[in-house]
Structure 1
Amino acid sequence: MTVLLDLKEKLREAYTATLASLIVSLIIGFFGGTFLGKYFNKIRSTYPGILVILPGMMGLRGNVFGSMASRFSTMLYLGDLEPKIREKKVLRNIVIAMILSLIPVTILWFIGMIKGIRYHTLQILLIVISSTILVSLLLGYFTAFVTIFSFKRGTDPDSVAAPLVASMGDLLTIPSLIMFILILESFKLAFWISNLLLIGLLILLVDISKIRRAELLEFKELFIIITLLALLSLISGFTLEKFSHLIQASIILGFAYPSLLSSFGNYGSVIAAKTSTKLHLGEIDKFFSLEPFLEILALFATTPIIGLLINLFGIVVASLTLGISVKPIYALALTYPFMALFIMLYSYTISYFLFKKNIDPDNVAIPLISNNSDIFGTLYAVLIAKLIVGG
């Protein structure tokens, strides 16, 4: 009886809190995808180097700030963080997140330069750096607000923060890149001034936050993992590139691809964040504890809705954009819940065993799961496309 009551409570939270954030995340993902599509030809023809960096950049946003949301949540529950946006620890974590984000994207730019970026090389580097600083500042405070606001309202931040933060990262990344490209093409002087101002802002924030070297060393695990994952994101890029004709031919998947990957990452991140918090609080004492599997079961109950909405939003966006009649992908609606279930079980397993190895899941599990979800999601999209189109 107690188990049923516990499951009922988790189902209530899944449908009233997590599902709402997943749906908002889905909508944001489709807006971001449409924005990218509008300027894709400009990026491809004039700044192709950005395409080398883009997958890693988008994954990096969710990795760094999803991890930060989970860390804030744990700190709030442990009483290590006051539930206030102006708390000094909030700014310090945001500045650290900026630094953690800048190094991997610079490495990606360098690899892109070696692999063939032959023009606009310096401009692309500045676009990437300025975009990272601006987005990190906005996304950092958004992460703090969502986590603290939900905590103060009595809602578990782990249930809502990760999906919203990852999706907001996707939404901000593309427009910020496009904004700097348009400024460069229309107002070159303003482009150089804005870059200098943003780099100066970063230096000022580092000085104000008074980050000590020891604090940065605490994030060594996270830095190593996000850098490796940024490089690993090339697997998703190569797979997508190779089978892009199939995804494009399936029509809906061409529009839904970013949201599809984001939704898988969101399910995984929610489970990872919840698992991390419960492990830190001592609420999970063995792998087959009942509590985490009830969480997974409750979230699994929401997956058919998300699968149907991906179809519905895909049909609407594709129809409005292309002006043609589009049929739903029944195979996606039927198989999506089980793919999401696999990712949630994978996320729990990774989080649990990392913690047992004395590796903080907040720093490693969420970035790893977000990246792996992109790879799994890309393979899943290709298989669905093959099933629809053939070939």
Structure 2
Amino acid sequence: MVAFLDGTNGRAMSASPMVLNVSLVEEESKKANAQSLSSGGSLVTIASLTTTTSTLNSTYHSKEKWWSTAMQVAVPFLIAGIGTIGAGIVLGTVQNWPVFREISELFILVPALLGLKGNLDMCLASRLSTQTNLGNMETIKQIWSMIIGNIALVQVQATVAALLVSLFAVSVGAVIDGMFDFKHAMLLAASSMVTATSSCFILDFVMIAVILLSHKFKMNPDNVATPLAASFGDVVSITLLSNVALLFHSFHEYNYNLLFVIIACYLLLLPFWIWVTHSNQYTRPVLKTGWVPVLSALLISGFGGLVLDSVVGLFDGFVIFQPIINGIGGNLVSVQASRISTMLHQSSLIGILPPHAKMCIPPWKALLTSRQARTARILIMMSIPGQLVFIFAADYIFTGKVSLSAAFVLSYLTVSIVQVMLLLYIAHILIHFMWKRKFDPDNCAIPYLTSLGDLLGTSLLAIAFLFLRSIGSNYVG
């Protein structure tokens, strides 16, 4: 029997753990959060609810075997890897298009826009995975409410953030070139908004279907949905961006007013999406609190774009491998972030770290001995053969033969492993910190982690190419 002590009047309620369900615990948790923490009874309530939630989740969610986690992550990881290869090949092809040669700010826009797309999709996947694991997506009404609210929320975030990231690219380009071209600015803004909103709208339905099917077939959606969320859409986003920019480039010199109309239409739709999001109980809080992580991530990814813009013309083959290292790093850390977030939601009240969770621990503990270290080890070991397969496949598809030098392979593997380990350690600290500060990591953590992954990946890959140049080698043998 489990006893809940009500701190207000001292009443005790008793029930069997097998009879209690997660929704009852959540209801009591909300009541406990509403009470003042100054009373001892409230503290007892919170402690009791935390213990009971952990007990219930151990009943309803059996511990995953390591091989089960590896298998569930491996399949979407490979599929997402194909997407990153495709993104690198597409970027390597379109870099010589007239629109990319004339408007170099597109290279600043690409990493930030891909980061934005991945952040929004992975946050959606993480939110819905957590809600699925908590049992809040069991009825048709719940599912449709989640879908409508989250689609509207992503459209709001994509519209605003895409406009801002285009302004960032234009501003940086103006500073670097020493001049401002209004027509180019309109093209970048229109291309960014069309790409972000269209790709999010289409691919978010795919992500929702993946989460629902994972739940139906008794798989953990945290393992399946988040790896697909970013990289699977990268190739779609780059293809869409390049073709939309090419289309707009064909008439922007003599009919740029049409670009202004396109931007205005998206801005006029924005109040409708805001109203739908605000009317939904599941997405209303995110509408108010989810902006700082997304906008901060855009700034971080923008610095990654600056690195890409500065080295894209210096190193042959850089654009082929840059989406791969960034995509794989983001995929793997998103799995860890989503799993830690779900664990915290299942075992404690927001603002209170469970006894088994420590925020500030040394890197070797976070990656080797902590509660989440098993998944971290699986992800690190999975990254090594995955990176090898993807870079050799990308090289073969792009050049028609296997031509990578041994020096490049060793350098690439070194920087990619460093990137993944740094991201996993940062994820451990960041998510626990956010939970303790009462920020839902499902909405806040992944944008920071994936944008850091883009910046680290692009910078470390540039260092690898600089090292190869210093020893007189190249990426091909």
- Superposed CA deviations along residues 74-120 of structure 1, whole A, max 9, x for unmatched, are 11111222376961221211110111121122122233444234324
Which of 132, 155, 163 does residue 106 from structure 1 map onto?
163
2:401 paired with 1:300? no
Moved more, 217-226 or 368-377: 217-226
SS at match of 1:82: coil
Moved more, 192-201 or 78-87: 192-201
Q: 1:328-339 counterparts in 2 under 5 A?
A: 328=406, 329-331=408-410, 332-333=412-413, 336-339=416-419
SS at match of 1:155: coil
Task: Tell me the distance in 2 between the aligned counterparts of 1:63 and 1:57.
Answer: 10
**Other-structure match for 2:236:** 172
2:288 paired with 1:220? yes
Gaps of 5+ in 2: 1-61, 175-179, 349-353, 359-364, 472-477
SS at match of 2:371: helix
**Contact 1:255–1:317 under 8 Å retained in 2:** no
Task: Tell me the distance in 2 between the aligned counterparts of 1:382 and 1:52.
Answer: 15
**Contact 1:7–1:294 under 8 Å retained in 2:** no
Gaps of 5+ in 1: 1-5
- How far does residue 236 in structure 1 lie from its aligned partner after superposition? 1.1
2:109 paired with 1:44? no
- Superposed CA deviations along residues 114-141 of structure 1, whole A, max 9, x for unmatched, are 4234324334322222222211211221
Task: Tell me the distance in 2 between the aligned counterparts of 1:386 and 1:142.
Answer: 39
**Contact 1:24–1:164 under 8 Å retained in 2:** yes
**Other-structure match for 1:326:** 404
**Other-structure match for 2:202:** 138
SS at match of 2:395: helix
Aligned length: 380
**Contact 2:330–2:453 under 8 Å retained in 1:** yes
**Other-structure match for 1:280:** 345
Instruction: Give 1 or 2: higher helix fraction.
Output: 1
SS at match of 1:286: coil
Task: Tell me the distance in 1 between the aligned counterparts of 2:105 and 2:383.
Answer: 36
Would the alpha carbon gap of residues 208 and 214 (structure 1) be closer, same or farther in structure 2, given more than 3 Å must change?
closer
**Contact 1:243–1:382 under 8 Å retained in 2:** yes
**Other-structure match for 1:21:** 76
**Contact 2:186–2:260 under 8 Å retained in 1:** no
- The structure with more radius of gyration: 2
Which of 89, 97, 116 does residue 154 from structure 2 map onto?
97
- Superposed CA deviations along residues 196-244 of structure 1, whole A, max 9, x for unmatched, are 8877877766666673699545333321111122122222122233344
SS at match of 1:326: coil
Task: Tell me the distance in 2 between the aligned counterparts of 1:75 and 1:350.
Answer: 21
Would the alpha carbon gap of residues 105 and 298 (structure 1) be closer, same or farther in structure 2, given more than 3 Å must change?
same
Task: Tell me the distance in 2 between the aligned counterparts of 1:110 and 1:245.
Answer: 23
Would the alpha carbon gap of residues 125 and 8 (structure 1) be closer, same or farther in structure 2, given more than 3 Å must change?
closer
Identity %: 19
Q: 1:113-124 counterparts in 2 under 5 A?
A: 113-114=170-171, 115=174, 116-124=180-188
- How far does residue 371 in structure 1 lie from its aligned partner after superposition? 0.7
Task: Tell me the distance in 1 between the aligned counterparts of 2:383 and 2:434.
Answer: 26
**Contact 2:324–2:390 under 8 Å retained in 1:** yes
**Other-structure match for 1:235:** 303
2:319 paired with 1:261? no
Q: CA RMSD for the aligned pairs?
A: 3.2
- How far does residue 274 in structure 1 lie from its aligned partner after superposition? 0.3
**Other-structure match for 2:67:** 11
Would the alpha carbon gap of residues 304 and 168 (structure 1) be closer, same or farther in structure 2, given more than 3 Å must change?
closer
**Other-structure match for 2:132:** 76
Task: Tell me the distance in 2 between the aligned counterparts of 1:338 and 1:286.
Answer: 24
Which of 110, 114, 117 does residue 58 from structure 1 map onto?
114
**Contact 2:293–2:445 under 8 Å retained in 1:** no
**Contact 1:347–1:369 under 8 Å retained in 2:** yes
Q: What amino acid maps onto 2:110 in structure 1? A: L
**Other-structure match for 1:3:** none
Would the alpha carbon gap of residues 244 and 54 (structure 1) be closer, same or farther in structure 2, given more than 3 Å must change?
closer
Moved more, 230-239 or 369-378: 230-239
- How far does residue 324 in structure 1 lie from its aligned partner after superposition? 8.0
Q: What amino acid maps onto 1:236 in structure 2? A: G
Task: Tell me the distance in 1 between the aligned counterparts of 2:68 and 2:74.
Answer: 10
- How far does residue 339 in structure 1 lie from its aligned partner after superposition? 3.7
Structure having greater relative contact order (Cα 8 Å, sep ≥ 6): 1
Task: Tell me the distance in 2 between the aligned counterparts of 1:342 and 1:214.
Answer: 32
Would the alpha carbon gap of residues 200 and 278 (structure 1) be closer, same or farther in structure 2, given more than 3 Å must change?
same
**Contact 2:89–2:398 under 8 Å retained in 1:** no
Q: What amino acid maps onto 2:404 in structure 1? A: V
Task: Tell me the distance in 2 between the aligned counterparts of 1:49 and 1:242.
Answer: 11
